[in-house]
Amino acid sequence: MHLHILGICGTFMGGIAAIAKAAGHTVTGCDANVYPPMSTQLDALGIGLVEGWEADQLDGVARGADVFVVGNAVTRGKPVMEAILNRGLAYTSGPQWLFENVLQGRWVLAVAGTHGKTTTTAMLAFILERAGLAPGFLIGGVPVDFDFSARLTASNFFVIEADEYDTAFFDKRSKFVHYRPRTAVLNNLEYDHADIFADLGAIETQFHHLVRTVPGEGLLVVNGGEASLQRVLDRGCWSSVERFGAATAWDLDAEGDIRHHGQVVGRLQLDLPGRHNQLNALAALLAARHVGVPLAQGLEALAGFGGVKRRLEKRGEVRGITVYDDFAHHPTAIAATLAALRDRIGKARLIAVLEPRSNTMKLGTMKAQLPESLAAADRVFCYAGGLGWDAAAALTPLGDKAETWQDLDGLVHRLARSAQPGDHLLIMSNGGFGGIHDKLLRALS
């Protein structure tokens, strides 16, 4: 079968491409932004790429395609999509294709939540790998231990990051309703994706759609500290539930001692800082138990877990100044990441560099929460290029420790001039941030 994937350079759709190629299909694709590392990975797989959305690709690289797999970045009005519709060609969404061709008949372990999905999914895949189960997986980031985000194996187990974002322009349900997991992790639930969800209740409805798909013999691993998740379960639950977190059956303390009904049953040794990562690990351990991996074996695996790229990833150190990269873009994630780094570096100066780039951030929905989320930083630099709201005004509560910049190169030079030996610079964005990491490291040197 020949698949032509629209929006192929996104992490999810690129993962679909790799899985389809591994399954023996011919794969081609297009995207508006064809650049490394995804373009390099796809090229290494022998996947032909077209840059842009022009219709003439249907008579070129996509000629004879059996099905067009449409990513949620594709909207009506793009010439290639209009041509597909006008010609009556077969098309489907990425999640639907994945379920029908890969997930159906497998034991799917899905990790959902506003925060921590990528890290928890990577942890779970790594635990199952170390246990000899050789799972297939699709992760919304690149785990250090695998060095690729998706793979297809002969295993009955498949681990997937379950995103609540919409499926495609023609299917506005969340992606995760297609996956039909037997084991589902509900990590947390806050308001996000203001471009597609009117309020938190709308997201809770989508999460309940996911709960409805888990079989009676399945398991829901649920963060017991989240009132929003309890509201989801109160709408109806037909599966077993394991709750984790404070005042639940499963919890752990700052030292990593895991308690089950108050009794210590193991100790977590994890080379990732922060309470949020401890809870991510506990969720992954409980999900792995459901497929038969004992807690002790899971703990042994996580002691060697290397993390995920772009999650508090150290990008370099120059003249005693350390530069980190993190995907944090929601105020809760920003606060958690800063707290984790503060725990690691102690009283050293912590400089936060933020690009509010997500659709929710660009709308300004979360701007009032930004000052509190950034409070743990000693200095804050915000890149406000392309925003439709006044970032400087929003950060006024931070006083003179916050600066707002419209010029990226100017921001880089300012950071290079103001950074001192011993400083830790945390760069946060869910995009490429104009290559600021490498630019800053060069400027520092």
Residue-by-residue pLDDT tens, the chain, 445 positions: 999 999 998 889 999 999 999 999 999 999 997 766 677 778 888 898 899 999 999 999 999 999 999 999 999 999 999 999 999 999 999 999 999 999 999 999 999 998 889 999 999 999 999 999 999 999 988 888 887 889 999 999 999 999 998 999 999 999 999 999 999 999 988 877 767 788 889 999 999 999 999 999 999 999 999 999 999 999 999 999 999 998 899 999 988 999 999 999 999 998 887 788 899 999 999 999 999 999 999 999 999 988 777 777 888 898 999 999 988 778 888 888 898 889 889 999 999 998 887 776 777 777 888 889 898 899 999 898 877 888 888 889 989 898 888 888 999 899 989 999 999 999 988 777 888 888 999 988 8
How many CA atoms, within 13 angstroms, populate the side-chain half-sphere of residue 111?
A: 30
Clarify whether residues 88 and 113 are in a common domain: no
Residue 175 placed within a domain: yes
H helix intervals, 151-274: 200-213, 227-234
Pair (380, 409) in one structural domain:
yes
The set of residues, in sequence order, having a beta carbon less than 8 Å from that of 53 and lying 6+ positions away, is: 6, 30, 32, 74, 78, 79, 80, 81
Residue 99 within a domain: no
User: Would 435 be classed as within a structural domain?
Assistant: yes
Domain that holds residue 126: 105-302
Whether residues 298 and 173 share a domain: the answer is yes
For residues 186 and 329, membership in a common domain is answered with no
CB 336 within 8 A of CB 352: no
Q: How many domains does the chain have?
A: 3
Amino acid in position 297: Q
Do 144 and 212 have their domain in common? yes
Q: Is residue 17 part of a domain?
A: yes
Same domain, 289 and 319: no
Domain co-membership, 163 together with 248? yes
Tokens representing residue 408 in the block: 């990226």
pLDDT tens-place string over residues 120-154: 999 999 999 999 999 999 998 888 888 788 999 99
**Do 9 and 87 fall within a single domain?**
yes
39 domain-assigned: yes
Residue 25's CATH number: 3.40.50.720
Same-domain status, 262 and 403: no
- Tell me, yes or no, if the pTM score tops 0.75: yes
Residue 307 in domain = no
Give a yes or no: residue 261 inside a domain: yes
Question: Are 226 and 198 found together in one domain?
Answer: yes
